[in-house]
Each structure stands twice: as C-alpha cells, then as structure tokens.
C-alpha cells in the first residue's frame, strides 16, 4: 500500500471469493477469482495469498484511474464507506476481504470449506 494512501472500505458483503488448488505437493498454488476474472499463482500458500491481494488492488486501482470505479462498484452492489477521491493522482488502497476455498481436485471440484 502506498504511504499516505486513502484506504477505501465498503459496506455490505464485498468478500472476493477465490478457488485455490495445486496439482501436487510440489506444484505451485493456483487461485481463480471468477467474479473479477482473475487468476493468480504462488509457490507457497503465503505467496499465493499475497499475490491474490495485490491483484485485486491493481485491478481496482486501474479501474479507479480509468474513471470507471463508481460504475464497477455499483454493478456489484458495493458501497464505499468514504467518498472516493475524484482525482486519479490521489493514492488509494482498497480494503476488500478475501475468502479462499481450497479445491482438492483442481479447478473443477471443491472438497474443503473456505480458508481465510
């Protein structure tokens, strides 16, 4: 998060759902977020979680800088708890909770409850 960034938090259910899996104990972790159309990868669970969080930040910052954040949030029913700065030069960071469900059999089937 940039120093001095305004943190944007949201009302309601803004949890971003990811599905995570790995093909073997030595393979990297892969996570898919269908709702945001993102895919992430990490050699360790910690690296995967960090990469997923960074990808959501980059996506939301890009949408913010393009001036489409209000539309994007509205389409998902997300409401910011603070006014979002009007200028794309302002540093912002987004506080979005993630829910990651581990899948045992790759991207097609869940077999374990969500892990946060």
pLDDT of residue 116: 43
pLDDT of residue 80: 92
pLDDT of residue 53: 95
pTM for the model stands at 0.81
pLDDT of residue 6: 86
pLDDT of residue 111: 40
Residues of the chain with pLDDT under 50: 1, 109-116
Using alpha carbons, select from 93, 44, 50 the residue that is nearest to residue 69.
Answer: 93
Domains of the chain in start order, with CATH, are 6-115 (3.30.160.250)
Assess contact for 10 and 83: CB atoms under 8 A. no
State the Cα–Cα distance between residues 57 and 63, nearest whole angstrom: 10
């Amino acid at each position: 998060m940039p120093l001095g960034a305004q943190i944007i938090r949201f009302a309601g259910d803004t949890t971003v759902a990811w599905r995570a899996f790995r093909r073997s104990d030595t393979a990297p972790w892969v996570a898919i977020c269908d709702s945001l159309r993102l895919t992430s990868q990490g050699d360790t669970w910690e690296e995967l979680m960090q990469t997923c969080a960074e990808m959501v930040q980059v996506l939301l910052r890009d949408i913010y800088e393009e001036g489409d954040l209000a539309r994007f949030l509205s389409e998902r029913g997300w409401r910011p708890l603070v006014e979002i700065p009007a200028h794309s030069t302002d540093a912002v960071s987004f506080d979005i909770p993630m829910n990651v469900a581990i899948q045992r059999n790759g991207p097609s089937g869940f077999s374990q409850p969500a892990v946060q």
